Amino acid sequence: MTDAFLAATTAVRSSDAGDGADAGEAGAGSAAVRLRAAESGALAADDTQAVADALLEQALRPLGAAAVAIWAAGYDGSLTLAGSAGFSAAEATRWHYVPPDVTTVARCGLAERAGQWFASLGETGLPSVGRHQYPDGGRVAVPAGTGGRIHGVLEIVWPVPLAPQPPQVVRQVEALAELCAHTLESYVPPHGAGQEPRIMPDAVELMDLADGLYDPALVLVPHLDAAGHLADFRIQHVNKSFLDPAGRPRAVVGGALLLEAYPMAAGDSELFQNVERVYATGEPFRARRINLTALVDQVPLSAVADISISRHGNAVLLIWRIEDETARLASLLQHAQRLGRIGGFEENLLTGEITWNGQLFDLYGRPQTSTPVPLEELTSHAHPDDAVTIGRFLRTLLHHRRPASAAFRLQRPDGVTRHVRLVAEPVLDTDDRLLVVRGAYQDISAQHWTEVALAATRDQLAHTEQQAIERARLTLQLQHAIMPPAQTPLRVPDLQVAVRYRPAETEQLVGGDWYDAVRLPNGLVLLCVGDVSGHGIEAATSMVVLRNALRGLAVTGAGPGQLLSWLNIVAHHLTGGVTATAVCGLYDPARRTLRWARAGHLPPVLVRGAQAGPLPLVKGMLLGAVAEASYEEDEVQLAAEDTLLMYTDGLIERRDRSVEESLAQLLSTVRPAPDSLDQHLDRLLTYSRSDTDDDTCLVGIRVG
């Protein structure tokens, strides 16, 4: 073994003579080491010690190095001194074993694939072998790995501070680390050295272990490309507690590649990167409240989970525990009661257990101590004329096991009839059996009677001009009831919020402009304006749908881009094919930041001191044009006395000017900002030069 290694290190040293010889000579040395290791079987400690001696004398002393240490990485994240040269026997004995989670120079080398180069050990403050012998000397720690897996670390010691090294020296050190990796592949620590080596279960035992867990778990094995490099991980086993977010059976997920089954694992959560690092180093990874994202029907859905990743032999065990959502869900649904009049439920079809939130009991007119109503008994609580609708809903949901929705009249015990919309989806277990049905009721009585009133008005006043004027007047009154020209200001610390609504001067042109400014359960402030295409009752009712939908969706905690993506689905499928523009923002009072997105709408205007300008455009098409669309987000940091304005095009649009000219006129009007935000908004409406008789919505905030 020693002769082969000396030949390899000599080849590496000679590679400095020219770039063309680098790869060939280093590869020849690596091949020699692998061949000898394969012939002799597992390496003993004496072999690695001989390797360290040869490495120092033949390759490193010509570079000015004084000592070298070869560390073997254990499965539990520990480090064992497999071989060393240049240190005293007492020092090597004292450092024969480094427990997991102890930060040393060698452990720092595991963190970066390019290794760690320290000019002086004394400046780092890190402990390491030979610290007292070479206190101010330079240190290099380079991971020793092959095939995507790190077997240990090569640590090199210089007696004096280390100057920046030329590229050929860096390549030589990396080649030496690769030679050490082939040596460490078969290294077996001597009996009694440090802690006893832990016996790792093979793949079958690890699968049995995963099946004994109550939390979802995956057993992963490395998948190498044609060049022998780690490219992905194969899902070797899916345990019995696993539920796929997309509803796929376990048999579909098992055997797939991790990135093919869950492409979002390589996203912001860095789940794939963490699995890759655990496999490479053997050091377990634990994290709380990681945001996991999965694509369900091409819509990214997120869940918060605690993650555990550990390597066992040549496999990786990935376990996650979804955060207990009970208390958080209850809080969200209570706020949904206030904002969207929504009640949630979950029904376990195997056990018969039914869970309702308080809003649903109120909707049914039943005390919260009463027994919830099963879905199969829904017909007995509804108007008889709605039995066919409910029967179709139940067949789709329970028999065909597809998401379903229905609108019907709920008859309560107190004699009151409420118009409700019910939306539900099935949840399948690992054997593709229907396990749970979950969903939500929404009280749409107000919207229903509004539609009835508007329809009646349309039928009564359809034939004369006076009837058309009356229809527009009633629509305008309805719009004022839903969208008042001003509302009670929000009370948010260090933030002024003001809103204005100016209807069209011509009553026949009542449109679909809308705004909203509301504080959400998570403390953020939802700010939005929108403009539904067209005028009249259809535009007004579509505006009501979009505004209320956005309010309800906002309590989920999603970002503005995701909210607009969902709102686009609502506009496309639930509003009769209307289109609309909107801009949506979430202001964080604690950080003074605004995250915003737009759907074909003019960008907000920021007034800072004597300067005013629109925020940089982000991509986003108008709502309802296509079935699915994504919207970019941007974030702006606000400062004290900053004023930010959102508006509809009725504020600036003119027939004889382009949008750019109208926007330039607006920017000259908004500066300088008056002392009061209310005065600022009133001034904008007063000096607006629009001549299109369109509605105008205006939302403004001022920091501090």
Rounded distance between C-alpha atoms, residue 164 and residue 169, angstroms:
10
Contact 72, 152 (CB under 8 A): yes
Q: Residue 600: what pLDDT?
A: 94
Q: How far is CA 649 from CA 344, 513, 531, in A?
A: 38, 9, 8
Closest CA to 501 of 623, 511, 585: 511
Q: Residue 196: what pLDDT?
A: 39
Amino acid at 445: S
> Once rounded to an integer, what is the mean pLDDT over residues 228-242?
87
In percent, how much of the chain has pLDDT > 70?
A: 79
Token digits of residue 495: 């933030």
Q: How far is CA 213 from CA 179, 253, 262, 317, 390, in A?
A: 40, 18, 22, 11, 40
- pLDDT of 562 strictly over 90: yes
Closest CA to 187 of 156, 224, 153: 153
- pLDDT of 38 strictly over 90: no
- pLDDT of 156 strictly over 60: yes
- Look at 673 and 350; give whichever has higher pLDDT: 350
- pLDDT of 7 strictly over 60: no
With tokens 């496309």, the residue in question is: 572
- pLDDT of 46 strictly over 90: no
> Once rounded to an integer, what is the mean pLDDT over residues 90-102?
82
Summarised one tens digit per residue, pLDDT across range 104-128 is 899 888 877 778 999 999 888 888 9
DSSP H/E element including 337: helix 326-339
> Once rounded to an integer, what is the mean pLDDT over residues 477-504?
74
- Look at 226 and 121; give whichever has higher pLDDT: 121
Q: Residue 17: what pLDDT?
A: 39
Q: How many CB atoms lie within 10 A of CB 52?
A: 27
E strand residue ranges, 226-333: 230-238, 285-296, 299-312, 315-322
Name the average pLDDT for the chain: 81
Q: Residue 260: what pLDDT?
A: 83
Q: Residue 39: what pLDDT?
A: 36
- Look at 26 and 45; give whichever has higher pLDDT: 45
Q: How many CB atoms lie within 10 A of CB 322?
A: 14
- Look at 81 and 323; give whichever has higher pLDDT: 81
- pLDDT of 291 strictly over 80: no
Contact 23, 178 (CB under 8 A): no
- Look at 533 and 488; give whichever has higher pLDDT: 533
> Once rounded to an integer, what is the mean pLDDT over residues 314-318?
88
Q: What is the pairing mode between strands 605-608 and 611-614?
A: antiparallel
Summarised one tens digit per residue, pLDDT across range 506-517 is 555 567 788 999
- pLDDT of 246 strictly over 70: no
Q: Residue 224: what pLDDT?
A: 87
Contact 70, 50 (CB under 8 A): no
Which of 274-283, 590-599, 667-676 shows the lowest mean pLDDT across its residues? 667-676
Q: How far is CA 81 from CA 34, 93, 188, in A?
A: 21, 9, 11
Summarised one tens digit per residue, pLDDT across range 573-589 is 877 778 999 999 999 99
Token digits of residue 677: 């935000």
Summarised one tens digit per residue, pLDDT across range 618-637 is 999 999 999 899 999 999 99
Summarised one tens digit per residue, pLDDT across range 424-443 is 999 988 778 899 999 999 88
